[in-house]
Amino acid sequence: MAKPADPLETYNQKRDFAKTAEPRGTFDTLSWGEGHGFMVQKHDATRLHYDFRLELDGVLKSWAVPNGPSLDPADKRLAVRTEDHPLSYATFEGIIPKGEYGGGTVMLWDRGIWIPHPGKDPRKTLEEGHLHFTLDGERMQGEWIMIRMKGRPRDRGENWILKKVTDEHAGGAMALTERFLTSIKTGRTMQEIASEAKAKELKSWLAGLNPPRARLGEGDQPKAGRGPNGTSGSSKPDVETTRGRIAPPPRRTAARSPSPSKARGGSKAAALPAFREPQKATLADHVPSGSGWIHEMKYDGYRCLLAIAGGKAKVYTRSGLDWSDKFPEIVDAAASLEVGSALLDGEIVSLDDKGSSSFSALQQAISEGGRGLTLFLFDALEIDGEDVSSLPNIERKGRLATLVGEGKPPTLLYAEHIVGHGEELFQAMCAAGQEGIISKRADAPYRSTRTKTWLKIKCIQRQEFVIIGWTPSDAKARGFRSLLLAVNEGGSLRYVGKVGTGFSMALIQDLLAKFRPIEVKTAPTAVPRAEARGAHWVEPKLVCEIAFAEFTSEGVIRHGSFLGLRGDKPAREVVRELPQPIPEAPADTIKITNPERVIFPDANVTKQELVDYYRAVGALMMPWSANRPLSLVRCPQGRDKKCFFQKHNTGSFGKDVHQIGITEKNGGSEEYVFVEEVAGLIACVQMGTIEFHGWGSPIADIEKPDRLVFDIDPDEGLDFAETKRAARDLHRYLADMGLQSFPLLTGGKGVHVVVPLTPEAEWPQVKDFAQRFCIALATAEPERFTANLAKAKRKGRMFLDYLRNQRGATAIMPFSARAREGAPVSAPISWDELDDFQSGARFTVRDAALLLERASSRALQGWGEASQILPDL
């Protein structure tokens, strides 16, 4: 075969290899058609971007992705086609000199293999303008597609779209670039790689403000176990290149970022979690209203608990039986979940091609080997050895979403929900022929019993009954005419009628075979003489599920239809289910005085509406506000009257607001406010509180902060666009040092950049880092930033308030209301959506339902959670 034109000619022409350490491009024709390696290089050139490269025909087909890849299938990331690169570029990491083509820092961010979509020739589809492939990398996994956009006259090159396909690896927008900040080759951050680039200058400025200390040399390796983002910091083997083929690196099990629970202390469980009694729902007479409830589809299947640990999994029935052998595909899929250990709650169903579930189809599938089934997971009891059952429902679902993702049938799926709008969902489910919905209190913990914080609302009546006998059919071939049913009541069985429809001939024969070994001579309970005539009786062991129209006044079912046997529920637990009234009252019993008082005159928001807001979002606030010293902004007569700051507690707030003694600088001790439950927030609001500000450390170890907060406070007259640009700059500099950060709309004019920390460093060290970081930025760009406390020095600039990070200082808590015009609230957002907001006060106290819905969205999963320590400087 004739050698084709050199595909690396453009690559070589763009570079001066006497100045750059990049490898010279050489093309090996022997590599044609061999190998499907891929890699991603994080590249801090004129603009930070991610270079996505696929090995094909002896070169690396390359695209520059400005915002990096996203696991959210809704994100369409721009990918600009660049020149082909040589295979030797697969291991490159380092510095391209300033002034050279692509000058800047390059990090090897991901690597692995890519598999073209079956039946498609990637050479042909690349030429046609589309690629469909599966990635098996250390960070990027699952199905992806790339599509070439229609060209425009102004375009310099080919613009493509990189998009994640919905599968079990799908996730939130922040799940990749925001969480993985270190090299897979060396474990270094961008700053550690860029020893002579901008990151080094920042590091030098910081170090220059501190006494000299030992620093890493040019050739030194970072300390092992350094820790940011779950990386070890130790060296990792390069990808090898042999005869033009890129060998995939050794597989690592932690392709996802560490789960939030791992960030709080790591896995504690080596064995499979033990079975626990599942929480059960109470039959309700109508759908609960309000944003304090979340609503899920009621699945028509088998309830189960899924235990996972050490690459193994077990499926428990709701009564604790081990049914793992009945669901082999579910067990295999669960064992591959990237979690140290977990105990999850869900329902196994059989889905048809329209997405509807059928109990009879499920039973048929189980009898045929239990394949092709789907487990919808809707709750978590344990994750990585941490008992999360006491957390609010909405937070447990958030933790669960980070493990499972959306995926697609079959196997494991995250059970989606909506906040509020339960009646609309119920009507839609009934119109679609579904069973009904499950409504759950968003703020409720998990309880191993039947509760009224979980409600089931059914489109038609259906429940379990105990089979106590059968009546023979006049047609000999049929076997029986009907089944006789009972429920437990008052310590004994009570007859409730019979069912004679819903049977196939095969099912009748199967049931008769089950009846013969347990047949008895007398009825297990009293049955009317007319109903008992000619009946055959059985021991009350078998449980079946029946759909029916209603119970008569005598307690007998009408128009019943057999749905199937229930092997997962003991006969002793079968009782008549009666619809219960919904507990509309909130869980706390705090009496609200003057509920009609207008707290925000401009927005006409009353005290009762403010209370309702905090009750609705209390579950979202607790992870940030509970068990932490708080300072309160109290406005007893409303925000336009006298307001004052209060941090000490004299015991006047009631039993739900607690006190902790903290030693002051003068050696004395003061009692500070803290709360443990949502009721504590409500008690504070009853006493006139609008705002909640919290320390950067929990009461468990008051001297060790668990977060940094950088408050970007713009001078009067600066546009919010400048604030957003400043926040992004801080985010970028922090990422260069290996620190993951998150944006928070403050409910005012600014943005907070929140940096979670593993509580290790004490206050002096944390304050020192924050101060030097802010001063370094102000020194680098004095026309934009200042860290000077004097207001006169802030004119036209952004004040970087590092004093939020000293002992005793506070910052506004996520979801707290603000005593400002319009009744705004602080709200977590993602970096991807920051540009969409035109103010730091986008959300108000009337947006509780929207905030609850956003909190469970993929975009915000894992917000504010990362396992990381301050970098060495």
Predicted confidence at residue 195, as pLDDT, reads 56
Stated pTM of the model: 0.61
- Architecture of the 273-458 domain: 2-Layer Sandwich (3.30)
Residue 267 has pLDDT above 60, yes or no: no
Predicted confidence at residue 218, as pLDDT, reads 31
Predicted confidence at residue 421, as pLDDT, reads 79
Q: For 208-227, what is the mean pLDDT?
A: 35
Predicted confidence at residue 4, as pLDDT, reads 55
Q: Is 571 helix (H, G, I), strand (E, B) or coil?
A: helix
Q: For 134-145, what is the mean pLDDT?
A: 93
Tracing tokens 């060209």 back to the chain, one arrives at 151
Greater model confidence, 217 or 402: 402
Separation of alpha carbons 430 and 725, rounded Å:
48
Predicted confidence at residue 443, as pLDDT, reads 84
By the 8 A CB rule, do 218 and 195 touch?
A: yes
Residue 669 has pLDDT above 90, yes or no: no
The length of the chain in residues reads: 873
By the 8 A CB rule, do 284 and 295 touch?
A: no
Predicted confidence at residue 520, as pLDDT, reads 94
Mind giving me the DSSP string for 492-553? Answer: EEEEEEEE--S--HHHHHHHHHHHGGGEESS-SS---HHHHTT-EEE-TT-EEEEEESEE-T
Q: For 238-252, what is the mean pLDDT?
A: 35
* pLDDT band with cut points at 50, 70 and 90 for residue 586: low
For residue 343, which of 311, 375, 309 has the smallest C-alpha distance? 309
What single letter denotes the amino acid at residue 361?
A
By the 8 A CB rule, do 201 and 776 touch?
A: no
Residue 551 has pLDDT above 90, yes or no: no
Q: For 278-302, what is the mean pLDDT?
A: 87
Q: For 853-873, what is the mean pLDDT?
A: 79
Please state which of the ranges 21-25, 772-776, 869-873 shows the lowest mean pLDDT: 869-873
- Domain range 461-573, its CATH number among 3.40.50.150, 3.90.1150.10, 2.40.50.140, 3.30.2290.10: 2.40.50.140
Please state which of the ranges 206-210, 471-475, 484-488, 539-543 shows the lowest mean pLDDT: 206-210
Predicted confidence at residue 796, as pLDDT, reads 87
Greater model confidence, 765 or 260: 765
pLDDT digits (tens, 9 = 90+) for 152-207: 766 667 899 999 998 888 877 667 888 888 899 888 888 778 754 443 444 444 45
Mind giving me the DSSP string for 758-818? Answer: -TTS-HHHHHHHHHHHHHHHHHH-TTTEE--S-GGGGTTSEEEEGGGGSTT--EEPTT-B-
Residue 744 has pLDDT above 50, yes or no: yes
In the chain, pLDDT over 70 holds for what percent of residues? Answer: 87
Predicted confidence at residue 167, as pLDDT, reads 86
Predicted confidence at residue 548, as pLDDT, reads 87
Predicted confidence at residue 260, as pLDDT, reads 35
pLDDT digits (tens, 9 = 90+) for 326-346: 999 999 999 988 888 999 999
The torsion defined by the Cα of 634, 638, 642 and 646, in degrees rounded to 10, comes to 0
Identify the top-confidence range among 399-413, 457-471, 571-585: 457-471
Residue 58 has pLDDT above 50, yes or no: yes
What is the residue-averaged pLDDT of the chain?
A: 84
CA 803 to each of CA 299, 430, 560, 561, 860: distance values in angstroms, whole numbers, following the listed order? 51, 56, 70, 69, 27
Q: Which is it for the CA torsion 718, 724, 729, 731, positive or negative?
A: positive
Predicted confidence at residue 174, as pLDDT, reads 66
Predicted confidence at residue 202, as pLDDT, reads 44
Q: Cα 132 from chain centroid?
A: 26
Q: Parse the chain into domains and list their residue ranges.
A: 9-187+222-230, 273-458, 461-573, 600-644+676-873
Residue 581 has pLDDT above 50, yes or no: yes
Read off φ and ψ for residue 512, nearest 5 degrees.
-60, -40
Predicted confidence at residue 754, as pLDDT, reads 96
Predicted confidence at residue 574, as pLDDT, reads 93
Domain topology for 600-644+676-873:
DNA primase, PRIM domain (3.90.920)
* pLDDT band with cut points at 50, 70 and 90 for residue 229: very low
Predicted confidence at residue 584, as pLDDT, reads 54
Please state which of the ranges 1-15, 568-582, 596-610, 639-653 shows the lowest mean pLDDT: 1-15
Read off φ and ψ for residue 111, nearest 5 degrees.
-165, 160
Residue 642 annotated as catalytic:
no
Separation of alpha carbons 255 and 270, rounded Å:
20
Predicted confidence at residue 567, as pLDDT, reads 83
- Strands 141-148 vs 159-164: parallel, antiparallel or unpaired: antiparallel
Predicted confidence at residue 410, as pLDDT, reads 65
Predicted confidence at residue 873, as pLDDT, reads 56
Residue 408 has pLDDT above 60, yes or no: no
Residue 291 has pLDDT above 80, yes or no: no
Exactly one of 298, 498, 607, 724 is catalytic; name it.
298
What single letter denotes the amino acid at residue 668?
G
pLDDT digits (tens, 9 = 90+) for 307-331: 999 889 999 998 899 999 999 999 9
Separation of alpha carbons 502 and 360, rounded Å:
10
pLDDT digits (tens, 9 = 90+) for 499-541: 988 888 888 988 999 999 999 999 999 999 888 988 999 999 9
Predicted confidence at residue 246, as pLDDT, reads 41
Q: For 641-649, what is the mean pLDDT?
A: 88
In the chain, pLDDT over 90 holds for what percent of residues? Answer: 47
Residue 264 has pLDDT above 60, yes or no: no
Residue 109 has pLDDT above 70, yes or no: yes
Predicted confidence at residue 7, as pLDDT, reads 87
